[in-house]
């Protein structure tokens, strides 16, 4: 290892939102000694990832700016960036205020601009602090030990490193029905500006999925001027919940600190005990758990359109119960997750009701969907079991019979693949070398406290995972709030001498 006065060498695999959060956390470590940083990117662009490429303004981030800051100690950083941008350009393009939600929801492309600038700022600060930085376009396909050095191999290039952080995303959505290459099948809808531009305005379109990506597809088709019928094709037909008017409340009981203390003491929790803590949190705000359980139960007995219409009408509800859950789960969920027994983790991972509630759409998106439902141009087909190509289109088998479509768009959750197709070779190499262990729920096994990769429960301080690679071990790995939190943990662990000094200073 190159420590004890020698510059530490860090390799970051992937350059999307998780990598930006990591670089930001690393650059903001006070007194960080100089090191070397190499960032590898297999795609066409750095820093934007799959969701935040240049795209239509209609395709928006589904969380308010306060929840999308890449700085752990500055939740207003994105809002301040928007203000500064408006002063320079005269406006913030596409960042329209949603009066029902009381906040702005940014176009994904605009948020991509923010990620790019944040990455450049972090790299500039690292270089000013004496770091050597290199950006490499190429896919890392293996990691190995050569003469005592850990080496990352990327398309013929070999880069010695001391630390590796896996930051690759989930990649494209899985092709569940093996339709790739079929005329009329859109394998991946992002960026929607180009991928959906050639869809015939009068075509009958089937959209695989009913989550946030499917909502993006509907919004993008509408922005493109599509006039034909659109059907969301899903097994369960669960739409994202509608975000209520944004009002942040300080959490008193359901906090990361509380669950981290339990973990540090070697404790564990059952799901029932977690619910008790949430009940305590709600009670402190004068709210009742029944409001939350009734909303979760509505997924099972309420028609999707009816539920959407009701939630839209309740956007300005005086109850804070749902807002508290939507704030607490992304904040503390990653800390709760490792404390639960495996069988209860399985239950939560497949709970579409919980994910629907905690990943809501903006009221403006819901309003557009309701207008399309009312006009007869949008519907939902549940219990879809098959999609097969036929001359000139597709036939979809669902609970209520077969339907024909001219175009099918793949909006299946990319994370259901469990591992990015681009990353399978690298992860296979890590596993074969004994550096990593695949997690049965996806990704690789990691240590909760540091996000270090583990083998048989033992953390390896040379390897870390942030975001989608840790999807099995942690919960809500894709939310920016979670990425920022985990990035701080990793940044502190990447340079051991600095980490030890920082820990010692806490007691002076």
CB atoms within 10 A of CB 187: 15
Measured CA to CA, the distance from residue 10 to residue 362 in angstroms comes to: 38
The CA dihedral of 486, 40, 469, 361, to the nearest 10 degrees, is 70
If pLDDT is split at 50, 70 and 90, which confidence band does 236 have?
confident
HSE at residue 123, side-chain half, CA atoms within 13 A, is 19
Is the fold of 8-62+111-149+162-172+416-420+438-505 the same as that of 185-241+361-412? yes
Measured CA to CA, the distance from residue 401 to residue 117 in angstroms comes to: 50
Secondary structure letter of residue 330 according to DSSP = H
- Its pTM stands at 0.92
Q: Which 3 state secondary structure label does DSSP give 296?
A: helix
- Are 375 and 361 in contact, with CB atoms under 8 Å apart? no
Q: Which residue has the higher pLDDT, 478 or 154?
A: 154
Residue 496's pLDDT is: 64
Residue 134's pLDDT is: 97
Measured CA to CA, the distance from residue 461 to residue 442 in angstroms comes to: 21
- Are 34 and 7 in contact, with CB atoms under 8 Å apart? yes
3-state secondary structure 150-182: EEEEECCEEEEECEEEECCCCCCCCCCCCCCCC
Residue 141 dihedral angles phi and psi, to the nearest 5°: -110, -10
- Are 435 and 455 in contact, with CB atoms under 8 Å apart? yes
Kindly state the average pLDDT of the residues 160-172.
92
If pLDDT is split at 50, 70 and 90, which confidence band does 442 have?
confident
In which order are the strands placed within the sheet that holds 157-161?
Answer: 140-146, 149-154, 157-161
Measured CA to CA, the distance from residue 228 to residue 376 in angstroms comes to: 10
- Are 329 and 358 in contact, with CB atoms under 8 Å apart? yes
CATH H-level, domain 185-241+361-412: superfamily: FAD/NAD(P)-binding domain (3.50.50.60)
Measured CA to CA, the distance from residue 424 to residue 389 in angstroms comes to: 29
pLDDT digits over 98-147, tens only?
899 999 999 999 999 999 999 999 999 999 999 999 999 999 999 999 98
Q: Which residue has the higher pLDDT, 476 or 418?
A: 476
What residue segments make up the domains of the chain, in order of their start? Answer: 8-62+111-149+162-172+416-420+438-505, 185-241+361-412, 256-302+317-355
Q: What percent of the chain has pLDDT over 70?
A: 95
Q: Which residue has the higher pLDDT, 89 or 71?
A: 71
Residue 201's pLDDT is: 97
Q: Retrieve residue 204's tokens.
A: 């009958």
Q: Rounded to the nearest 10 degrees, what angle do helices 271-284 and 342-349 cross at?
A: 60
What does 44-63 look like in DSSP terms, one character per residue? Answer: SSSSSTTTTSS--TTSB-SS
Beta strand segments in 374-420, E: 378-381, 386-390, 393-398, 401-405, 407-410
Q: Which residue has the higher pLDDT, 329 or 360?
A: 360
pLDDT digits over 8-57, tens only?
999 999 999 999 999 999 999 988 899 999 999 998 899 999 989 999 99
- Are 448 and 459 in contact, with CB atoms under 8 Å apart? no
- CATH number for the region 8-62+111-149+162-172+416-420+438-505 comes to 3.50.50.60
Kindly state the average pLDDT of the residues 472-495.
87
Q: Is pLDDT at 399 greater than 90 in this prediction?
A: no
- Are 472 and 445 in contact, with CB atoms under 8 Å apart? yes
Measured CA to CA, the distance from residue 344 to residue 338 in angstroms comes to: 11
Residue 507's pLDDT is: 30
Residue 376 dihedral angles phi and psi, to the nearest 5°: 85, 5
């Amino acid at each position: 290892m190159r420590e004890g006065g020698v510059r530490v060498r860090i390799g970051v695999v992937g350059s999307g939102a998780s990598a930006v959060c990591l670089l930001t956390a690393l650059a903001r470590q006070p007194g960080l000694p100089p090191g070397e940083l190499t960032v590898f990117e297999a795609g066409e662009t750095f820093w934007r990832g799959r969701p935040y490429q240049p795209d239509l303004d209609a395709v928006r981030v589904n969380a308010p700016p306060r929840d999308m800051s890449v700085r752990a100690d500055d939740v207003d950083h994105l809002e301040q960036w928007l203000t500064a941008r408006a002063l320079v350009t005269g406006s913030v393009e596409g960042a329209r205020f949603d009066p029902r939600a009381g906040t702005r929801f940014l176009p994904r492309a605009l948020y991509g601009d923010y990620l790019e600038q944040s990455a450049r700022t972090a790299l500039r600060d690292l270089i000013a602090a004496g770091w050597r930085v290199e950006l490499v376009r190429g896919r890392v396909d293996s990691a190995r030990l050569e003469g005592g050095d850990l080496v990352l191999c990327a398309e013929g290039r070999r880069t010695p490193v001391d630390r590796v952080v896996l930051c690759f995303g989930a990649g494209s959505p899985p092709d569940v029905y093996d339709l790739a290459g079929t005329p009329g099948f859109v394998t991946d809808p992002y960026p929607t500006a180009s991928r959906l531009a050639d869809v015939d305005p009068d075509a009958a379109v089937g959209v695989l999925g009913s989550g946030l990506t499917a909502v993006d597809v509907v919004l993008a088709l509408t922005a493109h001027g599509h006039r034909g019928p659109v059907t969301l094709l899903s097994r369960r037909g669960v739409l994202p919940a509608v975000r209520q008017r944004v009002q942040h409340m300080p959490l008193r009981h359901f906090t990361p600190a509380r669950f981290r203390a339990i973990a540090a003491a070697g404790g564990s929790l059952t799901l029932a005990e977690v619910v008790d803590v949430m009940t305590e949190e709600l009670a402190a705000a004068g709210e009742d758990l029944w409001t939350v359980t009734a909303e979760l139960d509505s997924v099972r007995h309420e028609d999707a359109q009816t539920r959407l219409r009701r939630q839209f009408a309740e956007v300005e509800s005086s109850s804070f119960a749902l807002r508290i859950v939507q704030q607490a789960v992304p904040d503390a969920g990653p800390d709760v997750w490792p404390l639960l027994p495996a069988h209860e983790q399985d239950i939560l991972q497949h709970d579409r009701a919980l994910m629907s509630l905690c990943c809501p759409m903006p009221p403006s998106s819901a309003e557009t969907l309701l207008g399309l439902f009312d006009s007869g141009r949008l519907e939902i087909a549940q219990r879809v079991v098959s999609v097969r190509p036929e001359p000139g289109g597709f036939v979809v088998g669902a609970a209520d019979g077969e339907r024909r479509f001219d175009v099918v768009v793949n909006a299946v959750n990319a994370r259901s693949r469990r591992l990015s197709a681009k990353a399978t070779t690298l992860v296979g190499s890590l596993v074969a070398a004994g550096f990593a262990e695949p997690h049965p729920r996806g990704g690789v096994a990691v240590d909760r406290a540091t996000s270090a990769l583990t083998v048989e429960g033992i953390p390896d301080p040379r390897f870390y995972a942030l975001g989608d690679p840790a999807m099995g071990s942690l919960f809500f790995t894709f939310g920016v709030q979670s990425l920022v939190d985990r990035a701080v943990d990793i940044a502190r662990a990447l340079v051991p001498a600095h980490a030890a000094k920082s820990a010692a200073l806490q007691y002076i």
